[in-house]
Amino acid sequence: MSLEVSSLAGSGTAHLRGDDTLLSVRDLEVEYRVKGGKFKAVAGISFDVRQGETLGIVGESGCGKSTTGRAVLRLDPIAGGQIRYGDEWIERVPEKRMRQLRREMQMIFQDPVGSLNPRRQVKEIVVEGLAIDGVAEAEQKSASRKVLEQVGLPGDRFAEMSPRQLSGGQAQRVAIGRAIALNPRLLICDEPVSALDVSVQAQILNLLEELKREFGLTIVFIAHDLGVVRAVSDNVLVMYLGKVCEFGDSVEVYDRPAHPYTRALLDSVPLTDPERGFAGPALKGDIPSPLSPPAGCRFRSRCPQAQGQCAAEEPVMREVRPGQFAACHFPLA
């Protein structure tokens, strides 16, 4: 089952490939009910992730990154669009099959300590999934030792600790180990280092890179920190208020952003030398409410380049340079 990519070109989905793709998201919509009705936290987004690739998803808090990640595992009801994983359609598979797929598609969260059962020892936590599968105890034990070694917590020192005795970085290693123990194909990492000290962040990112190489993992890496996403991603997807602004090779997008929002995000990133402050003017204005987004281009209320057409017409994704796509009427040169 393959998607007809060419037939979608021009409908805002021209940035899709369709080759050795493991995950294909098309026009995804996720709605939440709130007081006074419902709103689209994800309002029609499309992207592809090839086997073995890391896709970074960036954008300010509330733009729908976590909702997108959760939708792939069907943890929230999908209001519209399709999610194809391998040859299966996530929005349609029976719940029983979905439970199996959730083992192949593991998720890592921001709060490592909170994601671990405080009443269990580290050596039990990493093989929780295997225990549920009914794997024999002796096998669990050897798997536990192996996994702890793989995530850099070798020997006996950590095995009998409870999650509360671990540092944030160690707890995240345990959470990663628990995911790896199930031999996943896809890892969805939702702000996995945002709660960690900068020095520890690099160690966890390196660990993810090592595991990716060793197990041929495909990764969706969600973060609000552009620097972190750049360090790990092959491609990057920039989101704003439930929509995609820009998509492309991460080196290209970071070096020559085509969408004014990407430019603004990059300009807001603090320079490594604190004396020099920020790279440019910070992003101005508040994010509009997703309950009543601006008509036309959603970014127009904060965009320094906005013109009349931006209010009248919603921009679709167009290829601005080979392999780089932006949803903007007036992309940056």
Ligand X SMILES: Nc1ncnc2c1ncn2[C@@H]1O[C@H](COP(=O)(O)OP(=O)(O)O)[C@@H](O)[C@H]1O
Q: At what angle do helices 137-150 and 168-180 cross, to 10 degrees?
A: 130
| 85/254 with CB nearer ligand SF4 | 254
DSSP code for 311 = H
61 binds ligand X (CB under 6 A): yes
Instruction: Closer to ligand X by CB, 47 or 158: give it.
Output: 47
Alpha-carbon torsion 120, 124, 129, 131, what sign? negative
Single-letter amino acid, residue 291: L
- Interaction mask 172-211, ligand X, x per CB under 6 A: ----------------------------------------
What x-and-dash track marks residues 271-300 binding ligand X by CB under 6 A? -------------------x----------
CB-nearer residue toward ligand X: 73 or 122: 73
Instruction: Determine the Cα–Cα distance for residues 15 and 119; give it in Å rounded to an integer.
Output: 46
Spatial CB neighbours of 297, under 8 Å, sequence gap ≥ 6 = 303, 306, 310, 311, 314, 315, 327, 328, 329
The distance of closest approach from Cβ of residue 49 to ligand X in the complex, given in angstroms and rounded to an integer, is 18
Query: Which member of 29, 32, 152, 159 binds ligand X (CB under 6 A)?
Result: 32
Spell out, one character per residue from 290 to 319, where the chain touches ligand SF4: x when CB under 6 A holds, - when not.
-------x-xx--x-xx---x----x----
Instruction: Tell me which residue of 77, 76, 104, 110 sits closest to 88, measured CA to CA.
Output: 104
The radius of gyration of the chain's CA atoms, rounded to the nearest angstrom, is 21
Is residue 67 at the binding interface for ligand X, with CB under 6 A as the rule? yes
Which of 64, 177, 248, 293 binds ligand X (CB under 6 A)? It is 64
| CA separation for the pair 28, 14 (Å, rounded) | 15
User: In the complex, which residues of this chain contact ligand X (CB under 6 A)?
Assistant: 32, 34, 41, 59, 61-67, 290
